[in-house]
Structure 1
């Protein structure tokens, strides 16, 4: 490049590059780049100058070339497609007139912190160090699909996209990106449009704490087949649109503590992840449906009031659930499953209560399961189910059997004490005992010799028949309940 055509500002940058020195055009510390369109030639550097500098600029013996530029306006399109740049690039709080294009480039390090750009095309980018875009303001798309970053990616406090401007592709595309350290998109990241992490591999933590993702009526965060090396933290996340996380694998936790997930009329959270834990504690009530089909978790932490009105829980597997709540409160979510009766969901909740030793809650869940199942049966099976429920609570309320037996025995004993039945063979009959006579009628496998020796007459005979029928019915329902209890063990 003909360096004689350089402006004074460009000459400063050119000379400083070879020596690794910094050039700062800011008139005050922390001056924002939002007003960069008004900056004059005294702090404007042409993109073609920077490209020539980075690709084949001067070298000083014993010095490491380093582009350190602060508060500059970069006019034109900085095109570094497929370029190999030896020195790190540090463009801090700069204003770009046109999109930055580093498609397929090989860079040592790229720092765009607090800069303002129309867009960034970094598809297939290779960075030997870190990629920093903290505090950036990007009016259009940030495309990092297929990028390989040896260090971390920093997006804290960045603003991507513009409110009210719909895009036909992700506003922040990290599809199939490979990051060998952390992905830090916390600290107030704001994205107007879809944020996509489909197929991304992140060796460290993924952080979206305090981020705001806005794509109402669409998908705010898409992470299909995301593979994380540790945790995905999204505490206090605000997602307006669907959070879609199918096929995600995390050895640690997905932390949505204090999050607000809002997609009224649609699905607010859809996840089928394999992770250590899913935390939704202190989260606001979810606006929209939640789908956790096929999730495999060691620990699920969600308050009953966080569940929305529509859930899909078939295949959700967890070893523990917290915080510990009465079974009646946990059952509310299972009753909202849009798939109707889902036996697996009841079995999971039962197992979770048993693991912590709360057998009473486990029995309550199983009773609720039988009642929910009853609604799916034919009328005659439902009638039998109601009978089992009223008598012994499907075997999960064994004290009911004793109450029914004692009540029938008491009624029978009083009735036959008032009107003693006639002896069939007066000379051979034992003394009449109304209690044991009632027991003979009630218990089909017990014989105290009273029923065979005495016979009631008239209406009392029909009352005796009723006791026999009720006794047989009660005995069979008790047997069914005992069988079910033994099979559970």
Structure 2
């Protein structure tokens, strides 16, 4: 029987029995590659049709899909497929590989094969599926498939959609260095899939959406060195995914499109700032993780949070709270405080934007004043020590004015008996009046030698800090009639006292928890 090496174009009908195959053999209707497949199945070995993926449909390389389907599902009693399954290398597979709802025997391996049409594997049950190095010209549909072993698309090129939605994989899903090309459509659909092992997208080149929403990954999920592009859509959709081990977002080469991690969870998050910086649109709302393997640098983390905490123009505080919790648990308490401070600042800014959008300028102004006060005095409750620093500044201002008012002679005793005494009136108003009677009053040679000695610092503390009384403001008061320093200090002390009360009250409220940090 002479077999041609010309292109094989005639499709095969569905094969149900060995007699159908025998008739094809008797009529010489099978290609050399198909004959080698039959021999390999009989021997329980690989059908090595070629070494590399073919780029031309020749008889020496071409196998029609119905023959593969027949052997993949076990053949029949006259010709049973061995437990290893069907294993083909370097073939051109024409026609539709229809394994919908099928129970395959052993594994199905199509390595370095060119698959013309879209394989139908809806709810297929097969031990493992390997398409390493193959080209799938029209994608593959393995929705809800049951595959106890590994599914391998390593170095494969898949045009259109690779669908594993709802599938259960007992092993790994390996898409390392795969080319998944579907323009603006869905390139990889594993929504709701259960993958007991790892999911590798390392080095993958994806044009189209990667949809992993609702999936369960029992191992790790690695996007190292991946290139994800889907302009105007989701480059990576991981909503509600659960990764039992690590999610690796490191050394990513390019991202075009949204990266959506809404309500995702992973045990370990291993990332780097450069990879996140590639994401123009990022959603971290609801993302939780138990351990963070990455930089603890606050500036890098805040840049990440600011990008991912705003979704659909709404600010969400949860990403900040999650990171602060992890930072605190790992001993980075200062970093956690900085993160929570930035969260509150961003939250209040979003509230002010809402007032502007609603055209409520007075609410916006009141909110702005209150926010600036809380930020500068107690850091929104996360930095209560700021109230002390503000009080120090106020005391310094009061000390400066008090010092110069005292030196310029603009102070007088704050006791009526002293002011009406002959001794004071002689120093302040008599023919022997002096420019600075308050300074002379306390000298040992004058009647006020036992009077409260003036101290500018103590006076400033008395004016500013309401909880402390050093007796200075009760003994001395600036005069509005002796000079400009006294006049200004007389009015300024009311402002300083009011500010002191406000700052002290806010600081105490922050320390005691009356003002909540959140």
Q: Establish whether TM, by shorter chain, passes 0.5.
A: yes
- 8 Å CA contact retained: 2:251, 2:274: no
Matched position secondary structure for 2:350: coil
Report how far residue 475 of structure 1 moved.
1.6
- 8 Å CA contact retained: 2:65, 2:97: no
Q: Which residue matches 1:160?
A: 136
Which residue of 451, 465, 482 maps to 2:511? 482
Matched position secondary structure for 1:112: strand
- 8 Å CA contact retained: 1:416, 1:434: yes
Q: Which residue matches 2:339?
A: 365
User: Aligned in 2, Cα 1:488/1:416: closer, same or farther, shift over 3 Å?
Assistant: closer
Q: Which residue matches 1:53?
A: 18
Q: Which residue matches 1:403?
A: 389
Is 1:278 the equivalent of 2:247? yes
Q: Which residue matches 1:472?
A: 501
Q: Compare 380-389 and 214-223 and name the one that shifted more.
A: 380-389
Report how far residue 333 of structure 1 moved.
2.4
Which residue of 120, 136, 140 maps to 1:143? 120
Q: Compare 139-148 and 87-96 and name the one that shifted more.
A: 87-96
The whole-number CA distance in structure 2 between the counterparts of 1:358 and 1:485 is 25
- Matches of residues 27-42 of structure 1 in structure 2 within 5 Å? 37-38=6-7
Matched position secondary structure for 2:209: strand
- 8 Å CA contact retained: 2:132, 2:153: yes
User: Aligned in 2, Cα 1:56/1:191: closer, same or farther, shift over 3 Å?
Assistant: closer
Q: Which residue matches 2:205?
A: 238
- 8 Å CA contact retained: 1:184, 1:206: yes
Q: Compare 348-357 and 449-458 and name the one that shifted more.
A: 449-458
5+ unaligned residues in a row in structure 1: which ranges?
1-6, 10-24, 26-35, 59-68, 79-84, 163-170
- Matches of residues 427-446 of structure 1 in structure 2 within 5 Å? 430-446=452-468
5+ unaligned residues in a row in structure 2: which ranges?
24-29, 50-60, 76-80, 352-362, 419-450, 480-486
Superposed CA deviations along residues 257-284 of structure 1, whole A, max 9, x for unmatched, are 1111111222111102111221011112
User: Aligned in 2, Cα 1:438/1:37: closer, same or farther, shift over 3 Å?
Assistant: farther
Matched position secondary structure for 1:235: coil
User: Aligned in 2, Cα 1:140/1:315: closer, same or farther, shift over 3 Å?
Assistant: same
- 8 Å CA contact retained: 2:510, 2:516: no
Kindly tell me the number of residue pairs found equivalent between the two proteins: 425
Report how far residue 413 of structure 1 moved.
1.6
User: Aligned in 2, Cα 1:393/1:139: closer, same or farther, shift over 3 Å?
Assistant: same
Q: Which residue matches 1:117?
A: 93
Q: Which residue matches 1:422?
A: 412
Larger Rg: 2
Which residue of 310, 320, 338 maps to 1:346? 320
Superposed CA deviations along residues 42-95 of structure 1, whole A, max 9, x for unmatched, are xx999589865377869xxxxxxxxxx995258xxx9xxxxxx99969654240
Matched position secondary structure for 2:89: coil
| C-alpha RMSD of matched pairs (Å) | 3.2
The whole-number CA distance in structure 2 between the counterparts of 1:432 and 1:426 is 17
The whole-number CA distance in structure 2 between the counterparts of 1:183 and 1:70 is 29
Report how far residue 153 of structure 1 moved.
1.1
User: Aligned in 2, Cα 1:95/1:89: closer, same or farther, shift over 3 Å?
Assistant: farther
- 8 Å CA contact retained: 2:15, 2:67: no
Superposed CA deviations along residues 447-479 of structure 1, whole A, max 9, x for unmatched, are 222233333343221110121122123223323
